[in-house]
Amino acid sequence: MAYVTVGKENSTDIQLYYEDHGSGHPVILIHGYPLNGASWEKQVPVLLSAGHRVIFYDRRGFGKSSHPITGYNYDTFAEDLHKLIHHLGLREFSLVGFSMGGGEIARYIGRYGSQGVSKAVIIGGVPPYLVKAADNPEGVDGKVFEGIEKAIKADRYVFFAEFYKNFYNTDVFLGKRVSEQVVQAAFNLAASASSIASLACVPTWIEDFRNDLAKIDVPTLVIHGEADRIVPFSAAGQRTAKLVKGARLVAIKDGPHCVIWTHADEVNAVLSEFLGKGAGQAAGAR
């Protein structure tokens, strides 16, 4: 098991758990809420087969990473990612983020620039700015996020059970594109996450990433489910693609939020085509 220390809380190190597999062009996979790095299981074998070095990690507060009570904001998330990249000595790597992971990509490039980043992929990402405001009429009413926080405080387990219905659009895809066992496994991941992180991450979903997106100057692919009930396509993916110069948008017809599972074949095909073959390309130093 591999860890990188990204900070300290009192007498305890804050550590991120990560896995590093294969060789070739490095691809870093950044998971969504409330999952962990293992949620990329449909993508990892495909990327490895294409000759990529695949790295994924658990965000602080989730999975096998430390569960501190602080640091649940995108500046810190981006700093954690930066420390992992530095720890691994990566050069010419691609960033692939799902849901909250799209925010890490935006803020990482916004803060640290695109040096070393060869390509970016945002799947069902929270950018550019989810909450409705005077200068953001396409956003979601802020009361929605207040309601989510209230539900998590009351009983996060009940919240997660309801959340996953719309995460996978189970009324449409249960027994077809997603099984009850997959939903249960996802619930188990959420239940094992830090209760503090589960709540503290919610306000980060309404972070304003518009200035960050304007700084992305590498080839970018945006993938988003058209039937996403968690992060609406019209408020997020569609607008992100317009704000990133030259970005390519792939809308998954009838796709829910978690298209990396329900529509894995479609996602993997376009992801593989965009990233290309990894073998023989510039690899990160170990």
Q: What is the mean pLDDT of the chain?
A: 96
Q: What DSSP character marks residue 1?
A: -
pLDDT at residue 281 in the model: 40
Least Cα distance to 119 among 273, 257, 253, 259 occurs for 273
pLDDT of residue 279: 64
Beta-strand relationship, 52-57 and 93-98: unpaired
What six digits make up the tokens of 64? 């096998």
CA 131 from chain center: how many Å? 18
Q: Where are the beta strands (DSSP E) in 38-152?
A: 52-57, 93-98, 117-123
The burial of 245, by beta-carbon neighbours within 10 Å (0-12 exposed, 13-18 middle, 19 or more buried), is given as: exposed
Enumerate the active-site residues.
99, 228, 257
Return the structure tokens found at 214. 């304007």
> Which pLDDT belongs to residue 280?
41
Structure tokens belonging to residue 178? 């997603």
Per-residue model confidence as pLDDT tens digits over 42-52: 999 999 999 99
In one-letter notation, the amino acid at residue 52 is H
pLDDT band at 283 (very low <50, low <70, confident <90, very high): very low
Q: Is the model's pLDDT at 286 over the cut of 50?
A: no
- Per DSSP, the three-state class of 185 is helix
**What per-residue confidence (pLDDT) applies to 282?**
39
CATH number of 2-275: 3.40.50.1820
User: Among 106, 103, 119, 112, which Cα is nearest to 28's?
Assistant: 119
236-261 confidence digits (pLDDT tens): 999 999 999 999 999 999 999 999 99
Q: Are 148 and 131 in contact (CB under 8 A)?
A: no
Which structure tokens are listed for 166?
């719309």
128-162 pLDDT, tens digit per residue, is: 999 999 999 999 999 999 999 999 999 999 999 99
Domain coordinates in residue numbering, the chain: 2-275
Q: Which two tokens stand for residue 134?
A: 């005077």
What pTM was computed for the model?
0.96
d(CA 211, CA 208): 8
Residue 217 scores a pLDDT above 60: yes
- Structural contact between residues 35 and 190, judged by C-beta atoms closer than 8 angstroms: yes
What percent of the chain is modeled with pLDDT above 70? 97
Q: 86-119: per-residue pLDDT in tens?
A: 999 999 999 999 999 999 999 999 999 999 999 9
